[in-house]
Amino acid sequence: MSIEDKLKEIAGQKFPAFSYVFDSWDGVDVKVGRVSLPAIVTILPVGGNLNFRNGRLRDNENCAVAFIDKVPRDADGDENERVYTAMKDVAGQFIQELNKSGFFEPIEGDVPYYTIYESMADNVTGVFLDLRLREVIGKCGV
């Protein structure tokens, strides 16, 4: 399974109330309008590295994962704050599920997040995380 497949599996199993979207930032803008919100969004990775060790290939990917929900057009500060705070809580739960999954090395310490305010065609607010995901098992025989 790819890293994206693993993220989609965790999102689907542990966050059934959320839609899941995977695409570039531009593609996400279009797809978000076609799914129910809230949503977990994985952006095409900007890069990473391949780790070769003990006959196994492990992918280490730099990922952006966003947690978004709809807000009214011209939402005020209180409306935006309610949504991005709720999405920040979901982001924390998502990291806990990543750590429990056994797919990746544990994520510890500070995890930067960035707030999204009334972005995209559908006016969404939320947060996105900049993550470095390191596979634990990888592929053998490489």
pLDDT tens track, the chain, 142 positions: 888 999 999 999 999 999 999 998 888 888 888 899 999 999 988 788 888 877 778 888 899 999 999 988 888 888 889 999 999 999 999 999 999 999 999 999 999 999 988 666 678 899 999 999 988 876 775 5
The domain ranges of the chain are: 3-140
Work out whether strand 39-53 and strand 19-23 pair parallel, antiparallel, or are unpaired.
parallel
Helices (H), 2-65: 3-14, 25-32
Task: Say what the pLDDT of residue 120 is.
Answer: 63
CATH 3.30.2000 fits 3-140, yes or no: yes
Length of the chain (residues)? 142
Reported as type and span, the H/E element at residue 91 is helix 77-101
Q: Is 123 exposed, middle or buried (0-12, 13-18, 19+ CB in 10 A)?
A: middle
Total-model pTM: 0.89
Task: Go through 27-65 and write b for each residue having 16 or more CB atoms within 10 A of its CB, e for each that does not.
Answer: ebbebbeeeebbbbbbbeeeeeeeeeeeeeebbbbebbb
Task: Say what the pLDDT of residue 23 is.
Answer: 92
Whole-angstrom Cα distance, residue 97 to residue 20? 15
Whole-angstrom Cα distance, residue 1 to residue 22? 15
* 18 Cβ neighbours under 8 A, 6+ residues apart: 11, 38, 39, 40, 67, 90
